[in-house]
């Protein structure tokens, strides 16, 4: 795991801050445009994360992964459910 990478929870937290700032009515035009652009990027990222765990359950066996990493068994395919 990369500790510095964007995470879903960080994206959601920042998105909530942005919406709160826009709701306050204190943001000027330039700030509003910047916040909207940032919010759009965050939503796209978060939606991508949700999509990655929403398409369908994929089950792998550790034994198969270990065997696949073994050069002697490199031709075997992982079993998926």
Partner 1 sequence: MSEPVAGTEAQGIPGYPGPFEVGRYAKELQRRLRGFTQVALLGEVVNFKAGRGANVYFELRDADGAVPCAMWRNDFDRLGDAGSDLRDGAQVIVAGGCDYYPGGASASPSFSFRVKTMRPAGEGDLLARLERLRRLLASEGLFERQKKLRRPALPRRIGVVTGEGSAARKDFLAGLERLGWRGQIVWGYAPVQDRRAAPAIGAALRDLAAYGEVDAIVVTRGGGSIADLWAFCDEALCRTVALLPVPVVSAVGHEVDRTLIDDVAAVSCSTPTHAAAAVVRVDVGAERAGMLAAAARLHTRGRGTVVEQARALIARSRAPREHLRRHRRDLHQASKELRATTRKAVGEERERQRRRAGTVLPRKREAALAAVGTERGALARRAARLDARARDGLAVRRKAAMRQAASLRALDPDRTLERGYALALGPDGELLDDAAAVTAAREFELRMSGGTVPARVRDSGT
Q: Which two tokens stand for residue 30?
A: 């330039």
Tally of CB atoms within 10 A around 11: 20
Find how far residue 37's CA is from the centre of its chain.
18
Number of residues that bind partner 1 (CB under 8 A): 41
Interface with partner 1 (CB under 8 A), residue from 14, 17, 19, 75: 19
Query: CA-CA distance, 65 to 11, in Å (whole number)?
Result: 32
- In sequence order, which ranges of 8-28 are alpha helices (DSSP H)? 8-24
Interface with partner 1 (CB under 8 A), residue from 3, 72, 75, 77: 3
Minimum distance between the CB of residue 75 and partner 1, rounded to whole angstroms? Answer: 19
Residues 36-65 that bind partner 1 (CB under 8 A): 36, 39-40, 43, 46-47, 49-50, 52-63, 65
32 touches partner 1 (CB under 8 A)? yes
């Amino acid at each position: 795991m990369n500790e510095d990478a964007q995470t879903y929870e960080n994206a959601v937290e920042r998105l909530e801050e942005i919406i709160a700032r826009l709701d306050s009515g204190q943001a000027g035009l330039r700030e509003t445009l910047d916040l909207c652009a940032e919010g759009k990027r965050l939503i796209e990222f978060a939606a991508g994360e949700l999509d990655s765990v929403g398409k369908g359950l994929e089950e792998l066996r550790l034994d198969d992964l270990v065997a696949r990493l073994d050069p002697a068994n490199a031709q075997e395919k992982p079993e998926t459910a």
